Structures are given as C-alpha cells and as structure tokens.
C-alpha cells in the first residue's frame, strides 16, 4: 500500500467522524417548513469543525486523484 492509500483512509475516517459530530441548529420540523428561526452563521467550535471537515474533504479528494495518476 502506498502513502496515498493511507492518507485516503485516514482522511475518510476523520471526515466521517467530523460530519457526524456536527450539530444542526434545526430539528426535523425545520426540514418540513415548521421552523421560523434558522441560524446560518457558524460560530466557535462549530465553525472550526466545519473548516477542518472542508480540509479533510480536500485532502481526501487530492489523495484519490494523486493515487489514480501515479498508479
């Protein structure tokens, strides 16, 4: 296994965990049109987790592309 495979697996696991721990400001009723107040601004740790998730997605995508090009 090459370093790109390990990088892909590691970023995939980390990204999955980060996505699962992100909170949604709204409940199920908001998805059905029942919410009057929707928070669209991320603050604090929510913003940091969101930004780390984006970085993990970029690392995941680039490692897949590099793995396909090199091998």
Please say whether the beta carbons of 8 and 60 come within 8 A: yes
**Alpha helix segments (H runs only) across 1-71:** 3-21, 28-31, 45-70
Please say whether the beta carbons of 4 and 68 come within 8 A: no
User: Token pair of 10, please?
Assistant: 């590691």
- Residues 17-46: tens digit of each pLDDT: 998 988 765 544 444 555 555 566 777 888
Whole-structure pTM over 0.85, yes or no? no
Candidates 54, 26, 21; CA nearest to 40 is: 26
What pLDDT, on a 0 to 100 scale, did the predictor assign at position 38? 59
């Amino acid at each position: 296994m090459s370093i790109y495979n390990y990088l892909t697996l590691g970023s995939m696991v980390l990204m999955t965990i980060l996505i699962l721990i992100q909170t949604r400001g709204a409940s199920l009723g908001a998805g059905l049109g029942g919410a009057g107040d929707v928070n669209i601004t991320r603050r604090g740790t929510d913003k940091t987790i969101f930004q780390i998730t984006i970085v993990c997605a970029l690392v995941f995508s680039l490692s897949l592309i590099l793995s396909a090009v090199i091998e």
